[in-house]
Structure 1
Amino acid sequence: MGSNDKSRAGQRPEDDADTYALTREEPNKNRGAGWSVALRRRGHKIVRLFKDSIYGSAETAYTQARAYRDAIITALPPPTNLEQAVKLRRNNQSGISGVRRVETDQGDVWQATLLTKDGQKKENFAVGRYGEEAAKSMAIAQRARWLRGLPVKHLAYAHHAEAITSTTFAEQLTPAINVLPQVQISAEEVAARIAEINARFDAYRPPRLRVRVKSYGKDRLSIAVSDGGQPAQRKLMQINTASLSPEEIRASVRARIYSTIGAVYDADVAQWFAEVHGDALLTEGAFDVSEGFNVLVWVPVKAELSL
């Protein structure tokens, strides 16, 4: 399922609801395959990879990636053209965006400007004719008149993003009230919303299970079972192997691991681990007491365990 496969007639793929900000990442030596989300919102570059191996399939990874993208779009609208128009640049000296004092061949003026889709509006107010304060006030007033007539829209450059934004943040499309800078969402709120969405999607990931068997010197075997969380729920146990045969050691390790997984998760997960991983790891030919093993796996969701 590539992004080009989901394009629709008459639309650029990046504008389509199925593909906007979504990229299929093929496996390489550093990571596995998955679906990547990449977009910018409010000065933040937001990138997150949803791996096939974590979610069980490319289709499920894609579904999660798309849901994450929509969560970001729904929480963080792009700026409006009005926000951009009244935003103060670093070199602004008048305190009002689009208003500046300019030296011309005809004398000093206060100049009002506004860039629109039809080009740049510009009007000068001569200091020599109106006086310093009056010329500046007239430039500000002209700028305000232009802004009040500006059709306000979000600067969303994809159809899908525009559709969500116009519905969710319609209240931001009211005409200009004045020429002062506007902040629809503070930088702190932007960071908080991104953090909340990331935490929510972290919780959506399938749970993990780590099982470690390690030898600590002669006749002492350590077993650790953890849910891989942060902080992790971990259970540790020791086996004295001095009087045990290799077969008895394997049986003891197997029993401890499966009962502990049952305590950390439940009996279904313990059975799944035994069938998919544990029994193979603990065969006579595979298990070496001196080396042990350390495995980290993603636990299938409950519905998959019951199949």
Structure 2
Amino acid sequence: MIQRRFFDGVYGGCEEALDTARAYRDAVLDVFPPCTNREKAAKKQARNTSGTPGVYRVLRWGKTPSWQATLTSRHGLQRAWFDVANYGEDGARARAVAQREIWWKEAEITFLLQDGPSKEAAETAFGDLLEDPDLMDEAALATAMRVGEERLAEINARFDALRPLWLTLRLALRKTGSGGGQRLVLVVSNGSQDTRLTATFAINPQTRPLQAALSLARDKALELMDRLFPPGSSDWFSDAFGTSFDEGAFDCGNGLSIRVRIPGTPPMTE
């Protein structure tokens, strides 16, 4: 399964995120056909012990040993039971396997997608697979999957590069222990879960008053931005928000909180 999330807050709104998600969907559908109902029906579940997908040994009505054939199609769940008492163990199982095979071959082949643009795009690109599900042999399918994985990596890299970058910066004044000491705690992030950088600056009335600590925090914030964002981002931030680190502008009670899109990283519009 291939999935990727496009958050409203990252892409500037619901419509922008939806447009980018659709573009990603279309790019992936150019490479990979969606799974069909026949492919899903051919996969054996972990609890299956019969060796045949959709065939299970059960106690019918909680007391009658039987072999059961099942298949879920667009028409709902199909089930049939073959009692061991009537056909014997092997005979009941063989009949369940045969019944399931009949249903499997008779089922209309469809892509496992909800009706709508995604399904229409898949049917346009890979409709021949619905008409002839055995179009590719195993060797050809393996080659296609390998090439597809390489192209998927390229698609992901392209969408990574087009992802808008957001700066989240928080600077808060915190107490240190019970002695009345204080410190500034700086957090800088680009919105990714694994890129949250922090720094702490102790405040001392004699050696490092608040303004000195704020200046250090500003310099550290610019340094962290150089690590997280494209060149020039820290210069832009210094011009736009540098005075926020002045003692006269800093709110000691609420601290400083900034969330802003980095210029030059617009949402994808193609």
Higher relative contact order (CA 8 A, sep 6+): 2
TM-score (normalizing by structure 2):
0.50
